[in-house]
Structure 1
Amino acid sequence: MTQVIVHAGFHKTGTSSLQDYFRKIRHRLPDGIAVHLKEDFLDAGNLARRYGQRPYPWRRRRFARALRRYLATVDERPVHILSWEGFSGIMPGHRRLTGPVRNIRRAAIPLAHTIIAELRRRFGPEVEITFLYTLREPESWLRSVHGHLLRSIRLTEDFDRFRAGFAAPIRLDDEAARIALAIAPLPVVTSWLDDTKQRHEGPAAALLDLLDLPESLRATLPPAQKTNAGNSDEIRAQCLALNLSVGDDRELKRLKDALTGFNRPAQRAAARR
């Protein structure tokens, strides 16, 4: 029987660190475990993100077809891991025609149902599917989201104004609980960033725990390294000033890339993950 673990988010919860770690250790895992990351299913990943920004039914169908095409190419293994935060949609705070995205579950629940359907289509109705959602405390998470958006889009709100735009704080554990209720009885596992960031494997420890690997193997794995760290308060303030003052989008991007180091190949690669 095939087992599939879907790490579907959430954004800014150590996902880059988790995925980078699995890029480094995938060759050390038993042959029966296949690791699939964003760059492996790029079309499906981008379409999930677009659906999250504007959750039209036809966009969900396009995502389903893209995921189906990818799954048709994978070989038979006892265990498959699919990890990308875009499987829960787009990061809250991004703009759409009706205003900023203010929740996760609106897109994450339909996407989860679509992922389940396509996994069952590929591996059969008896496939064992587990969803993993990584979590972070509300204030720390929202600050990280705000900093990311200052860098990546023309966000013109300081943190206090940005936070005031949410009717209530987004609690990622509540979002995960709503998703779990919607896809029951499939298991949904959650892991807090604060509980894993000090572990040897960092945030990846939560996913490794689900694999039931021999302790002798885990003892040989390298220590995790933090990736895609947030910018300092000073750099965030400068990004905000640029967003308010520079009218040309290309020039704005160039200046922010230079300021934050995203002109470096390694940084650009991390941003795409």
Structure 2
Amino acid sequence: MEGRRIVIHGGFHKTGTTSAQKFIFDNGPLIWPHAATVLPGRTRARVARHAVRYSVGNAQPDLNRFRRGLAEVLGGLNLGKRAVLISDENLSGRMPGREGQAGYGGAPDLMAAMVRVIRRFMEKDADIHFVFTTRDPEDWLRSTWMHNLRTSRLTLNFENYAEIHSDTADFDLVIQDIRAAVAPYPVHTARIEALADNPEGPAAPLIQLLGIPTEKRMRMGGLTRANIGPDPALAPQLLDLNRSSLANDVLMERKAALLDSLSPKT
């Protein structure tokens, strides 16, 4: 007998993950009878922060804390016979490029740890599926570069940043390692460009795997893009600020003021 369907959307950063999560949240009443949803509001503090720490130092205590946190979160769900969706891009670790993070080297260990926790604490015969949304490599590099310019003290220009992180942008290599780590459980991938015209956007492969009936999918509200990056035209100013001698708190205030000055006013 096939076990409970569990869908894990573990990344990647800047591939429409926040938009997918917002779609899932906004359509929660239609999804709830079929699946419990575990979104970043539940995972960031108790689970994903340990994934980020593990990705930085590959320290076993951080992986152990990741497992314990996940077991606690999953153990608190009221499931009945429902499926489970877990979606948080930080489950794969820290965003590459942020404070020197080289790539997704910790992701295979983290995904394998999720399998062990689910089989031990939730259901031994769970029907586990992994989903990773991906993106055109150059677009992804530009998006993560802009994000890191805004949120950290990144001082690399785009050309140098792209050269350093080109291997990470080759998602096939990362996915290959994840597949080996979680075998025999399937790992699905979806390019967000291929989902651009889909009303469910990057949430579409998640909804499909959860088995939500077509009638309910037709009633779901449309996708709203979330966590949109700053205007690329701001890159030179953000780069200059990051290269300045400003104290960190002052730097963040200046960047916030710059971004706010160009935000649409209502």
| TM-score normalised per structure 1 | 0.89
SS at match of 1:200: coil
Q: Say whether 1:108 aligns with 2:111.
A: no
- Following superposition, the deviation at residue 63 of structure 1 comes to 1.0
Q: Equivalences for 1:90-101 in 2 at 5 Å?
A: 90-95=94-99, 100-101=100-101
Which segment is superposed worse, 9-18 or 161-170?
161-170
Q: Say whether 1:185 aligns with 2:184.
A: yes
CA contact (8 A) 1:136 1:194 kept: yes
Q: Residue 87 of structure 1: which of 88, 91, 94 is its match?
A: 91
Aligned length: 258
The whole-number CA distance in structure 1 between the counterparts of 2:69 and 2:101 is 24
SS at match of 1:213: coil
The whole-number CA distance in structure 1 between the counterparts of 2:260 and 2:222 is 25
SS at match of 2:129: strand
CA contact (8 A) 2:54 2:63 kept: yes
CA contact (8 A) 1:243 1:252 kept: yes
CA contact (8 A) 1:33 1:79 kept: yes
Which segment is superposed worse, 176-185 or 144-153?
176-185
Query: Which amino acid in the other structure matches residue 84 of structure 1?
Result: D
The whole-number CA distance in structure 2 between the counterparts of 1:185 and 1:65 is 23
The whole-number CA distance in structure 2 between the counterparts of 1:235 and 1:212 is 42
What is the RMSD computed on CA atoms of the aligned residues?
Answer: 1.7
The whole-number CA distance in structure 2 between the counterparts of 1:200 and 1:16 is 15
The residue that corresponds to 1:269 in the other structure is none
Encode CA deviations 1:147-206: one digit per residue, 9 max, x unaligned: 010001000111011112246463113311221122111011111010112211111112
> Would you identify which runs of 4 or more consecutive aligned residues in structure 1 move more than 6 Å?
none
CA contact (8 A) 1:196 1:206 kept: no
The residue that corresponds to 2:125 in the other structure is 126
- Following superposition, the deviation at residue 246 of structure 1 comes to 4.2
The residue that corresponds to 2:13 in the other structure is 11
Query: Which amino acid in the other structure matches residue 185 of structure 2?
Result: L
- Following superposition, the deviation at residue 101 of structure 1 comes to 2.3
Query: Which amino acid in the other structure matches residue 5 of structure 1?
Result: V
Highest RCO, 1 vs 2 (Cα 8 Å, sep ≥ 6)? 2
The residue that corresponds to 2:22 in the other structure is 20
The residue that corresponds to 1:43 in the other structure is 46
Query: Which amino acid in the other structure matches residue 78 of structure 2?
Result: D
The residue that corresponds to 2:63 in the other structure is 60
SS at match of 2:27: helix
Residues 35 and 169 (structure 1 numbering): CA distance in 2 closer, same or farther, change over 3 Å? closer
The residue that corresponds to 2:209 in the other structure is 210
CA contact (8 A) 2:146 2:235 kept: yes
Aligned-pair identity in percent equals 30
